Each structure stands twice: as C-alpha cells, then as structure tokens.
Amino acid sequence: MDVGADEFEQSLPLLQELVAGADFVGLDIEFTGLRSNLSRPQQISLFDLPSEWYLKTRQSVQQFTICQIGLSMFSSIEGESNKYVAHSCNFFLFPTTFGILDSEFSFQASSVQFLNQYGFDYNKFLKNGIPYMNEEQEKKIKHSILRGNWRVRSSLDKDQIKVVIDKVTQWLDLAEEGDQMTLPGIAGFQAFEVQLVLRQALPNIWTVLKEEWVIVKKVSQPQRWYLEHASCDQVSCWKEQILLSARGFSVFFQMLVKAQKPLVGHNMMMDLLHLHEKFFRPLPESYDQFKQNIHSLFPVLIDTKNVTKDIWKKV
C-alpha cells in the first residue's frame, strides 16, 4: 500500500504491529539522484578502497534526498517450512519544512528519467510526502519550539497563515463572546502552527483542532487564562505534539531500530548511507565510525548482492 503524509499517523499502530511480528524486513529506497558530478580525482573508481568509496559517496548522499522508501515485513507462516507472508508499504517522503528547518536538495536528470520510466508519482512525493528529520535537526527544532523562538519558514505557510489571520480578524470585529468559526483544510503540524500563531496574535480567541479543520472561538480574558492553564491543553503539550508531527517518518525509523529485525536489501550500501544521514545523524567523515553506527542501529544486515556473489563463488 502507498503511505503519504495524510495516512501516515493513523497507519503507525498497524505498522508497529507488523514490524514487531516480522522475522525480517526488506528494504529498497529511491533517491532524487545517485552520484554528484565530482571532479575526476573524486570520481568513483573500481580500485577505490571501501573508505575512499565512502568519502566520495558521502558527498552525493548529502546532495540528494530520499523520495520513496519501500518496506516489506516478512512473517513466517506457522507450521509451514520456509513460507512467509509479506506486508509491503511504499512511503513517499519529503524533508520537514518547519521553523528553522528548510532543506536544500538536488535532482539528477538520469534519476528522474529512470523513475518516470517506472511510473513514479512525483505528486505524491512533492505534495503528500511524509516529513522526516535526523537527530541533530530534531535537537534544533525542539530547542526553537520549546523556547517559543520558532517561526514560519516556507512561503506557502506564510501566505496561508496571513490569509487565516486576516479572516479571523475580520470575523472578530462582528463576533460576540462565545461565537465560533471554522477554518477548513488545515491538518498536520501546520494546524498546530496556525493555532499557535492565532493564540499569540489574538488574546480574545481560543482554538481547537478537529480532524482537518480548526475551530476558533471568541472568549473573555478569564476564559482564555483558564483554557491556557488547563492540563489537557497546555502550550508545552502542544509543542510536543508539533514536534512529534514534524518528526514524521523518523518516528517509524526509531520503531525499526528498536525492533532490531534483520534488514535485507540488494546492493544496499547507498541505502544505508541515506538511512544514517536522513534519520539518524549526518554521516561522519570516518568510514569506521559509520560502520560502527550502522551496526548499532541494525545489527543484522543482509545484502542479497553479496549473498549471490558468495553463492557463485561456491558453484
């Protein structure tokens, strides 16, 4: 099944259950590009040592991003030898754009052409991609959110929030205490962001999130004070919810790490570099440090390319 931002949060409990019950997990990742156009001394060579290949490839991983992750959770069938049930999901991803986070990445023409050839849906990637961040990005955004220093970054969010504030301000001029208005079509962490902006800008309103719309209510100052200090709706709790939504696929990545299931892929070294860079930490300069990190995340890694090579050697 395809999973985008709209379906991701409600799919998490099922995904967690599938991972917990799996014997192993199959992985395949699609990128916006494979290798940057390095100068001749920096180009990949068959004679490169693993550490040299790593340093050259590290630059490409930092330049391109993940657009889709395919995962298959394989569970053995009870009473059946070497038979498995596979539950497969395609996750469309897009880097988190929130507050101080605004990633830059490149497209490579050959990669775009390859994905087009096999029917890749760029609308799902660009319009409904699940956000994600690594641990360092999470620390930055958490520091900003919890200190209240966050600010809208993308032009789309700025335009949307300006329209919302204007609309609510015009409504307030005619509204009486207790009146409500509805702001439709606002979901995800943008909904939390819109509510925080409204609450900071307008002292005589309160907001409530209902599915994919925000309800704005005109309230008195005593009501506002009470609602702000209600245990179920404190701003600090809200900010934690914003952070959780902004982490997106990184939440599921941590589930995979915690489950410690064998991870299976084909020619998966590039996949592992991207997993480290996008969801764990920026790639270290040391190849040995990278190996140590990736094996702490996924102790059992099976690359079918290496498996088949080994089989051919024995034939």
On whether the pTM is more than 0.85, the answer is no
CB environment 79-118: b (16+ within 10 A), e (fewer): eeeeeeeebebbbbbbbbbbbebeeeeeebeebeeebeee
Model confidence pLDDT, tens digit, residues 15-73: 999 999 999 999 999 999 988 776 566 677 778 889 999 998 998 999 999 999 999 99
pLDDT of residue 288: 96
pLDDT of residue 124: 93
Where do the domains of the chain lie, and which CATH numbers do they carry? Answer: 2-133+248-314 (3.30.420.10), 142-245 (3.30.1370.50)
Q: For the chain (length 315 residues), average pLDDT per consecutive 10?
A: 89 94 96 78 78 90 95 93 93 86 89 93 92 91 68 57 86 91 77 80 87 87 81 60 81 95 95 97 96 97 90 73
pLDDT of residue 234: 55
CA distance readout (Å), 290 to 217, 227, 294, 302, 307: 52, 48, 6, 17, 22
pLDDT of residue 155: 44
pLDDT of residue 188: 64
pLDDT of residue 187: 67
66: β partners:
31
pLDDT of residue 239: 67
